[in-house]
Amino acid sequence: MEVVHIIPVGFEKRKLIDSLKRYPFQKVYLLLGKNEHLPGEVKARKTAKLMKNDLKAIAKVYEVYVDKEDVFDATKELIKLIKKEMAEGNRVLVNVSGSTRTLGIACYLAASLTGAEVYSGISKYDEKEKVKGVERIIEIPTFPIKRISKEKEEILNILYKINGEVESLEDIIAVIKPELKPGSKKFKTERSRVSYLVNALKEDGFVETEKSGKTLKVRLTAPGEIYVLGKISSGEVS
């Protein structure tokens, strides 16, 4: 088993290195923004380069790029990375000592859904009030996100696997119970059940619906997709 750290890179290299070294580590992912023109990103990339030089002799170090402006997209990428490492039997920790607010939220959501550990270093300052390392570490507890029913999960998983959207409830039934004939009594009963579950998922914020004539389109929302990635899928999701 390897101990893996995921670190959103800020400007204080010393703080990030110091907080990292409070734990064992064999692999480090340095988290950066895809958009190099974001304010502060040039400096963050310089910090990452310095950290890589400092750590490469004692650990495997990789750079990972996410959308810092889209909390849901960043969360999805982090979940994939965390679950990939966990599938290999590794322990995953997320160091939020230098993260931006949006990326910090994404890290916390991803950790809550996957069971990764989260920690942050509290800065130590010199007499000129410049950061000179970490005074102590705070281990941040995650709130367990409650699993929904297996019936609801089945519908979310179906939506995820067919590009996040179906044209009607009948399309969902065709996957769940393909043996049922449209118009039959059993089909109508199943349709009522699926309709109830879709409405419940809509209240949860996991799907959205749109009427199109007599049919009801059902679409997976970003929180719904994140739930599938975090709670239903295992390993690396393509």
Task: Say whether both 45 and 79 belong to one domain.
Answer: yes
The residue range of the domain holding 116 is 3-140
Written as six digits, the tokens of 131 are 């950061």
Whether the CB-CB separation of 2 and 27 falls below 8 Å is answered with: yes
Q: What is the total count of domains within the chain?
A: 2
Q: Sign (positive/negative) of CA torsion 96, 97, 103, 105? A: positive
Q: What is the DSSP pairing of strand 3-8 with strand 27-33? A: parallel
Q: Encode the chain (238 residues) as per-residue pLDDT tens digits.
A: 999 999 999 888 889 999 999 999 999 999 999 998 888 899 999 999 999 999 999 999 999 999 999 999 999 999 999 999 999 999 999 999 987 788 999 999 999 999 999 999 988 887 777 777 788 999 999 987 888 999 999 999 999 999 899 999 999 999 999 999 999 999 999 999 999 999 999 999 999 999 988 889 999 999 999 999 998 875 433 3
Question: Domain for residue 237, yes or no?
Answer: no
Task: Say whether both 135 and 154 belong to one domain.
Answer: no
